[in-house]
Structure 1
Amino acid sequence: MLGLPKGEVFLVPWTEGWQREFESEKKRIEELAGAFILEVHHIGSTSVPGLSAKPILDMAVEVESFKLGEACIAPLEKLDYDYKGTAILPDRHYFSKGEPRTHQIHVYETGSPYLEEQLKLRDILRNDEQVMREYESLKRELADAHQNDKHLYAERKTAFIKRILLNE
């Protein structure tokens, strides 16, 4: 159901199991790190019913201040997440789980523009089937063309994402 081997890019059809796994993982995160967090959001393509996705569950953990992201490290490590630091992606603490990777967490300060963009993109894709299908078509094309280069795959989606974020 979940798991993307290192260095590979492929998509699988959306499944309700992703929503169930998110709810289960959210509960575990809140049990261990709830004192430090405001909300756990399901983000990325696995959060959009009907949208094919890389089989990695993406979550955004919202904290009141960026410094509180450090307080999440030990509780998330108890759930088998590996803390990757703050230098991999901008303005977030980043965690991944599994090999092959099954889950990833981005810990954002509330009000972060990156968090706001993630939530806005998710909501647009959930509410506009035409945009979702266009995005899925692009993702399939890119996954086929860049099946061994996740960075190029992600980079080539950027113009489409920026366009739909600006149009809403």
Structure 2
Amino acid sequence: MLGLPKGEVYLIPWTNEWVTEFRNESEKIKFELGELVLAVHHIGSTAVKNLSAKPIIDIAIELNDYQRGIQCIEGLKRLGYEYKGTNILPERYYFSKGEPRTHQIHMFQTNNLYMKKQLAFRDFLQNDSEALNGYQALKEKLSSTHYSDKITYSHAKTDFINTILKNLGFN
């Protein structure tokens, strides 16, 4: 099951279908964008086995040159993505797909700090069951109290995430 309607926050249990969906979408992106793309990464909670998540596949596209992101817009539109701009996070192109939204693309230049943090947090949760269980409990609590407020839900996870990232050497 994929798709999260605007204004809603709910979690569904992790499913291997998310891995398959990411792989399929990644192949389409690589075929469409070709040499513009250095790598395509599965990020966010759908990338972490056994972690409940909002049913949206988060994808990070890594570019050799950030300026080449402009050249990716038309190709991603052909795949059904809507370009949302660069003003939400610095040095990131953002795209979404579907209504309800099923996929999000975060496009960065290689070695972007935000992308490194996303990958490090994902990898840490995949390898630390105590942190995974703690994050799962926090997400369940927050999704039940902030079921109609995505921004508050996201911000309320920040301290947990930042504590782990600090322990991993990110400041």
DSSP 3-state at the match of 2:61? strand
Q: Percent identity?
A: 52
Look up the match of 1:100.
Answer: 100
DSSP 3-state at the match of 1:35? helix
Q: Distance in 1 between matches of 2:69 and 2:121?
A: 23
Unaligned runs of 5+ in 2: none
For residues 110-129 of structure 1, what are the structure 2 equivalents within 5 Å?
A: 110-129=110-129
Look up the match of 2:33.
Answer: 33
For residues 148-159 of structure 1, what are the structure 2 equivalents within 5 Å?
A: 148-159=148-159
Unaligned runs of 5+ in 1: none
Look up the match of 1:15.
Answer: 15
- Residue 90 of structure 1, CA deviation: 2.7
Look up the match of 1:50.
Answer: 50
Residue-by-residue CA offset, 1:33-53 (whole Å, 9 max, x unaligned)? 022010000000000010000
Equivalent residue letter for 1:154: S
Q: Distance in 1 between matches of 2:3 and 2:132?
A: 23
Q: Distance in 2 between matches of 1:68 and 1:148?
A: 36
TM-score by length of structure 2 reads 0.97
Alpha-carbon RMSD: 0.6
Look up the match of 1:4.
Answer: 4
DSSP 3-state at the match of 2:53? coil
Q: Would you identify which runs of 4 or more consecutive aligned residues in structure 1 move more than 6 Å?
A: none
Look up the match of 1:70.
Answer: 70
TM-score by length of structure 1 reads 0.98
Residue-by-residue CA offset, 1:108-156 (whole Å, 9 max, x unaligned)? 0101000000000000011101101100110111111111110000001
Q: Distance in 1 between matches of 2:140 and 2:4?
A: 16
- Residue 89 of structure 1, CA deviation: 2.4
Aligned length: 168
Equivalent residue letter for 1:152: T
Residue-by-residue CA offset, 1:31-88 (whole Å, 9 max, x unaligned)? 0002201000000000001000000000000001110111110110000000000012
DSSP 3-state at the match of 1:53? coil
Equivalent residue letter for 1:78: R
DSSP 3-state at the match of 1:30? helix
Look up the match of 2:90.
Answer: 90
Q: Distance in 1 between matches of 2:123 and 2:69?
A: 25
Look up the match of 1:109.
Answer: 109
